[in-house]
Amino acid sequence: HLPNSLEARDVAYQLHSYTDARRHEEAGPLVIERGEGVYVYDTSGKRYIEGMAGLWSVALGFGEKRLAAAAARQMEKLPYYHTFAHKSHAPSVELAEKLVAMAPVPMSKAYFTNSGSEANDTAIKMIWYRSNALGQPERKKIISRVKGYHGVTIASASLTGLPNNHRSFDLPIDKVLHTTCPHYRTMARPGESEADFARRCAQDLEELILKEGPETVAAFFAEPVMGAGGVIVPPQGYWEAIQPVLKKYDILFVADEVICGFGRTGDAFGSTTYGLEPDMMTLSKQLSSSYLPISALLVNEKVYAPIADESHAIGTWGHGFTGSGHPVAAAVALENLKIMEERDVLGHVRQVAPHFQARLRALARHPLAVEARGIGMLGAVEFSHEMLRDKPGALGGRIFAAMQEKGLIARNLYDTVAFCPPLIISEDEIDAMFDMAEAAVAEVAKETGV
Ligand code: PLP
């Protein structure tokens, strides 16, 4: 890279997330300069389809002027105020009201945070606070799932069930436990039907609860469809088997809707798609199309009442972020939700998702692929490193790099390549995306003689 270029200065000064630092020093970054619709452009002017909507999040694409205008209006009127100690402002009130109204099951209150990690972290603190308020201080254990992704703070990284987020960080913390990942192909026993596998996942959960002691287990966290763990769509009957176990032992259910929320699965929420009845929901990403950071935690009356009830009071709810309910972020989220309704983005998703899923499954017919998984506008193809006797992740990395070279940004999660484009993507753009993906896979196959 040229001295003084953005690429060279990036390598010199910036430490990146989820990046191998030494490899970054050699290869440098892809610097994105601008965006429009489903496209982003790098500093050389090369155009890419953003097949991941950034980080599963830019629902309305990269050039929505109305979101910029909403931010500017709010910046000029009231650029900042907080929501501590009985203070409030219109954007946070309106957004809280809107989210409670949109929730697929009755919810009482919205609490604002700035990232998915913070929303999940806050959920854990609220659950612990509630257990204390109820006089059940022993009820603090939380169960999530192997391969679930819930964030990177100390508590939310503990919920996350991926080795990369635990190894070298001395995590998970001891109150967080993990149950079976519901991935049928890799986790089912030989000859086990999908329905039997789903029932066994629920049995595994129940056994863990009984082993730990039901009186010590406070909550279960799960994404309706697992995202960063490899886009793992639950097997038939999974949620129908899991939810009664939670109800039987009076364990709170927290649905992490950070990826699924606001249309990704073809419904307003993943909970709607799967008939989930969560007590708490965490929301972020598509809430504001990620134009500004904002996240929210919705809680039902069962969670809220003991926290608010004076007879249980254990002091002020001593928690909050400077940016909680930030007026500019909240104004952008409100405008984002308004645009989604006005343009019937959900209707559009329902119209184009079958084509997206058909092209995803066609890509997975390549001999290098072992499985396609997906629902709505979320999908992934898993490739087999064994074909090349590469180390795990190497083939996914090569295919991902070939796609990027052709002008498609996807995401490799080891040997799984994920696709999660902006919800506004057209059928033609879906075709362009998968044409590039197919060409990239063919090229890697040819190079390696498969
Ligand atoms: N929960 C889910 C399901 C996610 O996919 C993510 C991020 O990808 C998070 C939580 C964490 O969100 P953030 O990166 O905003 O902290």
Ligand 1 contact, 121 CB (< 6 A): no
> Per-residue pLDDT tens for 298-334?
999 999 999 998 888 788 899 999 999 999 999 999 9
pLDDT of 72 strictly over 90: yes
Categorise residue 302: left if φ over 0, alpha if ψ from -120 to 50, beta otherwise: alpha
Judge whether 305 lies within some domain: yes
Shared domain check, 255 and 168:
yes
What pLDDT does residue 432 have? 98
Judge whether 19 lies within some domain: no
Judge whether 9 lies within some domain: no
Ligand 1 contact, 421 CB (< 6 A): no
pLDDT band at 397 (very low <50, low <70, confident <90, very high): very high
Instruction: Report how far residue 20's alpha carbon sits from residue 235's, in angstroms, rounded to the nearest whole number.
Output: 34
User: Please, which residues bridge with residue 145 across strands?
Assistant: 179
Nearest Cα residue to atom 13 of ligand 1: 116
Lowest-confidence region among 68-82, 145-159, 390-404:
390-404
Last residue of a domain, one of 312, 342, 372: 342
Shared domain check, 145 and 52:
no
Amino acid at 440: A
- Give the CATH number, domain containing residue 377: 3.90.1150.10
Q: Which of 120, 122, 112, 151 is nearest to 333 (CA)?
A: 112
* 8-state DSSP, 391: P
Shared domain check, 177 and 99:
yes
Shared domain check, 190 and 125:
yes
Shared domain check, 296 and 161:
yes
- DSSP strand pairing (411-413 vs 416-419): antiparallel
Q: Which of 201, 178, 207 is nearest to 189 (CA)?
A: 201
What pLDDT does residue 392 have? 80
Ligand 1 contact, 227 CB (< 6 A): yes
- Give the CATH number, domain containing residue 152: 3.40.640.10
Ligand 1 contact, 116 CB (< 6 A): yes
Ligand 1 pocket mutation, candidates 18, 257, 285, criterion most atoms within 8 A of CB: 285
Ligand 1 contact, 258 CB (< 6 A): yes
Ligand 1 pocket mutation, candidates 52, 162, 258, 294, criterion most atoms within 8 A of CB: 258
Ligand 1 contact, 178 CB (< 6 A): no
pLDDT band at 178 (very low <50, low <70, confident <90, very high): very high
Q: How far is CA 130 from the centre of its chain?
A: 26
Nearest Cα residue to atom 1 of ligand 1: 150
What pLDDT does residue 448 have? 82
Judge whether 363 lies within some domain: yes
Chain mean pLDDT for the chain: 96
Last residue of a domain, one of 342, 369, 395: 342
pLDDT of 450 strictly over 80: no
Ligand 1 contact, 230 CB (< 6 A): no
φ/ψ (deg, to 5) at 270: -60, -30
Shared domain check, 408 and 311:
no
Ligand 1 contact, 158 CB (< 6 A): no
Strands (E), 223-344: 252-256, 280-283, 295-299
Judge whether 2 lies within some domain: no
Shared domain check, 167 and 100:
yes
pLDDT of 168 strictly over 80: yes
Ligand 1 pocket mutation, candidates 113, 122, 232, 259, criterion most atoms within 8 A of CB: 259
Judge whether 375 lies within some domain: yes
Shared domain check, 348 and 336:
no
Shared domain check, 75 and 59:
no
Q: Ligand 1: which atom is nearest the Cα of residue 148? A: 3
Shared domain check, 375 and 236:
no
Judge whether 234 lies within some domain: yes
Parent domain of 434: 31-63+344-448
Ligand 1 contact, 264 CB (< 6 A): no
Judge whether 14 lies within some domain: no
Report percent pLDDT > 70 for the chain.
100
Last residue of a domain, one of 292, 318, 342: 342
Instruction: Report how far residue 160's alpha carbon sits from residue 164's, in angstroms, rounded to the nearest whole number.
Output: 10
Shared domain check, 193 and 108:
yes
Shared domain check, 417 and 299:
no
Encoded tokens for 380: 């992934």
Domain count, the chain: 2
